[in-house]
């Protein structure tokens, strides 16, 4: 039985003070939650403050990105060891915004996932198709390529997949439960081809305009093991409702 995981991606939102205020309100709302893993990914500037506030709570800390080198002349980048130094347990890699705006390729992301795993970080590896690719019938081809190239020569341990159809991220358009389950089932099959029986324990999250209104239906899908949430994770009561989904 795969334990559900609900992850918050705050993206480029929240100052240190705003992050602290969020956690002061949020942590009391979820202290009794034991059957769901909770992960929060604040911006880099708030990682240290958030890390301190999460001590003793059931919430795990994630970064939103990282570079694949240990150290060096890479102005503006963050090394994996810098994240573990702040008690990060997870890192988001391959988000569509990183692929689109910062031109991160499958090859680059493969290096990043390898570096994350070498440092004991769980990689939440994001994949997903654009609207044009879906309309052209290329959804499965895109998912297969991003999985095979991004996870090349990487074992299944410490890998969480996040399926995020690009056309549903921040648009208010949520994929239907049928579309979600179809994509998640395909991903599970491809993971099985890569890893055999070990794929059955790998978690696949859904991301794309997840809200308190649709979380219960999404979590009813057989191959949906959680959610990677953007906008709806920015308010304590909203994110608490997602963590306390019902099915």
Residues recognised as catalytic: 95, 164
CB 110 within 8 A of CB 70: no
* DSSP sequence for the chain: -PPPEEEEE--S---HHHHHHHHHHHHHHHTT--SSEEEEE--GGGHHHHHHHHTTSSEEEEES---SSSSSS-TT---HHHHHHTT--EEEES-HHHHHHS---HHHHHHHHHHHHHTTPEEEEEE---HHHHHTT-HHHHHHHHHHHHTTT--STTEEEEE--GGGSSSS-PPPHHHHHHHHHHHHHHHHHHHGGGGGG--EEE-SS--TTTHHHHHTSTT--EEEESGGGSSHHHHHHHHT---
């Amino acid at each position: 039985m795969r334990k559900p995981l609900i992850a918050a991606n705050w993206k480029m939102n929240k100052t240190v003070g705003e992050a602290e205020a969020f956690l002061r309100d949020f942590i009391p709302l979820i202290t009794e939650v034991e059957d769901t893993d909770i992960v929060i990914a604040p911006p880099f500037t708030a990682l240290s403050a958030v890390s301190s506030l999460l001590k003793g709570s059931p919430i795990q800390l994630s970064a939103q990105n990282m570079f694949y080198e240990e150290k060096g002349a890479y102005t503006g980048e963050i090394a994996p060891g810098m994240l573990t130094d702040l008690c990060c347990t997870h890192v988001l890699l391959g988000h569509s915004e990183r692929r689109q705006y910062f031109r991160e390729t499958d090859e680059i992301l493969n290096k990043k996932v390898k570096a994350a795993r070498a440092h004991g970080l769980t990689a939440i590896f994001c994949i997903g198709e654009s609207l044009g690719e879906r309309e052209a019938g290329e959804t499965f081809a895109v998912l297969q390529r991003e999985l095979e190239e991004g996870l090349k020569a990487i074992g299944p341990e410490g890998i969480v997949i996040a399926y995020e159809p690009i056309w549903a991220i921040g648009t208010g358009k949520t994929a239907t439960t049928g579309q979600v389950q179809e994509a998640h089932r395909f991903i599970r099959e491809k993971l099985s081809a890569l890893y055999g029986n070990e794929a059955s324990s790998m978690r696949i999250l859904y991301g794309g305009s997840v809200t308190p209104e649709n979380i219960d239906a999404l979590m009813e899908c057989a191959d949906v093991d959680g959610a990677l949430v953007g906008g709806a994770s920015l308010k304590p009561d909203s994110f608490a409702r997602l963590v306390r989904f019902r099915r």
